[in-house]
Amino acid sequence: MIRIKELRAERGLYQKDIASLVNKTIACVSDWEKGNTEPSIAEIIKIADYFNVSADYLLGRENEVGFVEVTPTLTPDQQELIDLYNKMSYRDKNQLLGFAKGLVY
């Protein structure tokens, strides 16, 4: 993992911060940075998402940072609200937004 140390340093993070992120020990992160061991695919994805870079960049397979857009996963309720909202008229959307703002504020 050539770039974990580099990305960490750019953001002022410590090995313990990465270890906490992936539920590993500091020694494990140190071994990754030294090239002694490698993280799992799931850990690579989690670290890449955290730093908002591609897994290929993190692994040293590409030189461009290659920021990735992470699409949040919606709950079924959230998706239903979006689907209903998309079916509404412009007028109804404005009324709904006004109502929602009233509930929140």
| Residue 60, pLDDT score | 84
Indicate the domain borders of the chain.
Answer: 2-58, 73-105
Residue 46: pLDDT band with limits 50, 70, 90: very high
Residue 71: pLDDT band with limits 50, 70, 90: low
What secondary structure letter does DSSP report for 105?
Answer: -
Residue 38 corresponds to which tokens in the numbers above?
Answer: 């490698």
Give the mean model confidence (pLDDT) for residues 64-76: 64
Give the mean model confidence (pLDDT) for residues 3-31: 93
| Residue 15, pLDDT score | 95
Provide the 3-class DSSP secondary structure of residue 32.
Answer: helix
Query: Do 15 and 26 meet the contact criterion of CB atoms below 8 Å apart?
Result: yes
Which CATH code for domain 2-58?
1.10.260.40
Nearest to 41 by CA among 56, 62, 63: 56
Alpha-helical (H) ranges within the chain are 2-10, 15-22, 26-34, 41-51, 55-58, 76-87, 90-104
